């Protein structure tokens, strides 16, 4: 069987898997949740005996409060980005997804990333705080890099947006020293051309290397600090980071997050262009790469149950040094703290894992209206085209959140009446949420063929984390809107 047939089979399997999951969710949620969930909204008047058998579902208003808790919006005064919406909804406790956004201050461009953690939140949280700075530094021209190294406190590399994560003091000092060391490495390795592609790759790979080095180098001298850095290195995260500069869109992807472009045709039809490709067992090229990197005798063990060494679902990630370090290093730094489980089964020819990103480029046109970057918690629940159509419909209905403005002075009463009637009719399409990321999450959890089912949505939002993970993952969504007029005026 040739590779084309393999790819066709994998695509078919993905569609069947998606359909099975949606049907399973629709058929089982009421049965499971009625037996297993505890509501966060219980009545004060219910007796203790009743509390053991009765749960009060959140109202539509309470559902909206839950969904909107982490939403954020930012408008831009100029440039290719008009605005962006972001939101997160936890399934794990604590949530293992993170996100970060920043405006480059010393070079042109905006960086936005989504990070999906696993094995705990530590790695994803650290990456969200550090990675954009590593990329921004790699983008610096030589003369600016030299000046920044001499006077690092004079200017900031990034203006971060919606940054709520704080790093503890001892790790913060360690990370600052690592970053200074990284800047000197950039200077030593500098090439004449620092393009966006190489900068994205360099930032990701250098940070991943630092996550390892911060454990391996000081492990004998600082056991307390080592336990913190080790938790970062042994947990992991996949990443999807975009850099937008004028009409130039570059996306770096490691793992199974995805970036999807929403394009409006001349016929006013929405097209979903999937920019990225997941690094998982459904990507046959990725399977071939891993098989080719290890002896033929390991073909049955290197990928088992659609996972790396039978354990890890993403086939590329940052952190996850259980699958990168040598056996000797694992025995030295990990086994003393967490035991022999630190070494995976059939761990014969490491490394098995890489953080090397795939880099994608797309030149934006006025037809490209928005970009959706999201963790697989969203993409497990809806297809790229469904997501694009939902955001497209949301764009149309979103205008009715704004007050009515008359199109001109001295307008006739009849024209005003016609305008009001049109607005009244159009208000039927007004979405519940002003934030497009919230709109996507609402439909991902509660969406049916006939719209959002409040009962299903309320049930799923009431599940405790141990049960919730049976039905959905953490969700992180960023929707970036482009300024079509700005892009139209960009030189070819």
Q: Does the residue 303 lie in any domain?
A: yes
Question: By the 8 A CB rule, do 487 and 80 touch?
Answer: yes
What is the C-alpha to C-alpha distance for residues 118 and 124, in angstroms, rounded to an integer?
Answer: 8
What is the C-alpha to C-alpha distance for residues 277 and 120, in angstroms, rounded to an integer?
Answer: 24
Helices 3-36 and 454-462 pack at an angle, to 10 degrees, of 80
Which residue, among 23, 88, 132, 32, has the nearest Cα to 466 in the 3D structure?
32
Q: Does the residue 43 lie in any domain?
A: no
Q: Does the residue 471 lie in any domain?
A: no
Q: Does the residue 423 lie in any domain?
A: no
Give backbone dihedrals phi and psi of 491, rounded to 5 degrees, phi first: -65, 150
Q: How many of the other CB atoms lie within 10 Å of CB of 26? A: 13
Q: What is the pLDDT along the chain (492 residues), one digit of tens a residue?
A: 443 444 444 444 444 444 444 444 444 434 433 333 333 333 334 344 344 434 689 999 999 999 999 999 999 999 999 999 999 999 999 999 999 999 999 999 999 999 999 999 999 999 999 999 999 999 999 999 999 999 866 678 999 999 988 898 889 999 999 999 999 999 999 877 679 999 999 999 999 999 999 999 886 565 556 789 999 999 999 999 999 999 999 999 999 999 999 999 999 999 999 999 999 999 999 999 999 999 999 999 999 999 999 999 999 999 999 999 999 999 999 998 899 999 999 999 999 999 999 999 999 999 999 999 999 999 999 999 999 999 999 998 765 555 666 777 778 888 777 777 766 665 666 789 999 999 999 999 999 888 899 999 999 999 999 999 999 999 999 999 999 999 999 986
Which residue, among 238, 135, 105, has the nearest Cα to 195 in the 3D structure?
135
- Please tell me the predicted confidence (pLDDT) of residue 319: 98
Q: Does the residue 449 lie in any domain?
A: no
Q: Does the residue 399 lie in any domain?
A: no
Question: By the 8 A CB rule, do 234 and 320 touch?
Answer: yes
- Please tell me the predicted confidence (pLDDT) of residue 414: 81
Q: How many of the other CB atoms lie within 10 Å of CB of 184? A: 11
Coil, strand, or helix at residue 356?
A: coil
Contacts of 307 (CB under 8 A, 6+ apart): 281, 313
**Total structural domains within the chain:** 1
> What pTM did the predictor assign?
0.86
Q: Does the residue 18 lie in any domain?
A: no
Pairing of strands 248-254, 258-264: unpaired
> Which CATH number belongs to the domain containing residue 167 in this structure?
3.60.40.10
- Please tell me the predicted confidence (pLDDT) of residue 165: 83
Alpha-carbon 276 to chain mean position: 12
- Please tell me the predicted confidence (pLDDT) of residue 83: 98
Show the domain range for 305.
Answer: 98-241+277-365
* H-state helical runs in 43-155: 48-51, 60-68, 122-138, 142-150
Q: Does the residue 192 lie in any domain?
A: yes
């Amino acid at each position: 069987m040739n590779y084309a047939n393999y790819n066709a089979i994998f695509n078919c399997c993905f569609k069947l898997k998606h359909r099975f999951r949606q049907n399973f969710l629709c058929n089982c949620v009421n049965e499971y949740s009625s037996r297993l969930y505890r509501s966060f909204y219980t009545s004060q008047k219910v007796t203790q005996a009743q509390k053991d058998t009765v749960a009060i579902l959140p109202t539509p208003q309470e559902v909206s409060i839950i969904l909107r808790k982490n939403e954020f919006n930012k408008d831009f005064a100029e440039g290719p980005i008009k605005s962006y919406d972001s939101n997160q909804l936890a399934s794990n406790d604590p949530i293992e997804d993170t996100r970060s956004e920043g405006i480059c201050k010393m070079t042109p461009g905006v960086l936005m990333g989504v990070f999906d953690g696993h094995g705990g939140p530590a790695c994803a949280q650290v990456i969200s705080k550090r990675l954009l700075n590593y990329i921004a530094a790699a983008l610096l021209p030589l003369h600016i890099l030299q000046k920044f190294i001499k006077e690092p406190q004079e200017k900031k590399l990034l203006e971060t947006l919606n940054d709520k994560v704080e790093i503890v003091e001892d790790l913060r000092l360690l990370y600052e020293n690592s970053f200074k060391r990284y800047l000197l490495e950039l200077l030593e390795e500098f090439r004449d051309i620092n393009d966006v592609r190489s900068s994205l790759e360099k930032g990701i790979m250098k940070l991943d290397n630092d996550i390892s080095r911060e454990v391996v180098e000081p492990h004998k001298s600082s056991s307390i600090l080592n336990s913190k850095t080790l938790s970062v290195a042994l947990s992991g995260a996949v990443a999807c980071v975009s850099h937008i500069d004028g009409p130039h869109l570059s996306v770096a992807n490691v793992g199974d997050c995805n970036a999807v472009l929403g394009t409006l045709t001349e016929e006013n039809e929405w097209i979903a262009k999937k920019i990225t490709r997941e690094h998982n067992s459904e990507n046959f090229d990725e399977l071939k790469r891993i098989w080719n990197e290890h002896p033929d005798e390991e073909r049955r063990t290197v990928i088992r149950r659609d996972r790396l060494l039978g354990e890890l679902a993403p086939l590329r990630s940052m952190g996850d040094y259980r699958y990168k370090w040598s056996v000797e290093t694992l025995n030295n730094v990990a086994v003393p703290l967490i035991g022999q489980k630190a070494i995976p089964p059939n761990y014969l020819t490491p490394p098995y894992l890489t953080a090397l990103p795939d880099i994608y480029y797309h030149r934006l046109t006025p037809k490209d209206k928005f970009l959706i970057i999201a963790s697989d918690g969203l993409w497990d629940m809806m297809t790229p085209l469904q997501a694009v159509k939902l955001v497209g419909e949301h764009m149309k209905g979103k205008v009715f959140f704004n007050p009515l403005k008359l199109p001109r002075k001295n307008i006739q009463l009849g024209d005003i009446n016609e305008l009001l009637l049109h607005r009244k009719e159009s208000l039927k399409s007004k979405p519940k949420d002003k934030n497009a990321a919230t709109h996507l999450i609402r439909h991902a959890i509660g969406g049916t063929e006939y719209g959002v089912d409040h009962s299903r949505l309320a049930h799923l939002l009431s599940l405790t984390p141990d049960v919730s993970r049976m039905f959905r993952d953490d969700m992180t969504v960023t929707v970036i809107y482009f300024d079509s007029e700005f892009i139209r005026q960009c030189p070819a």
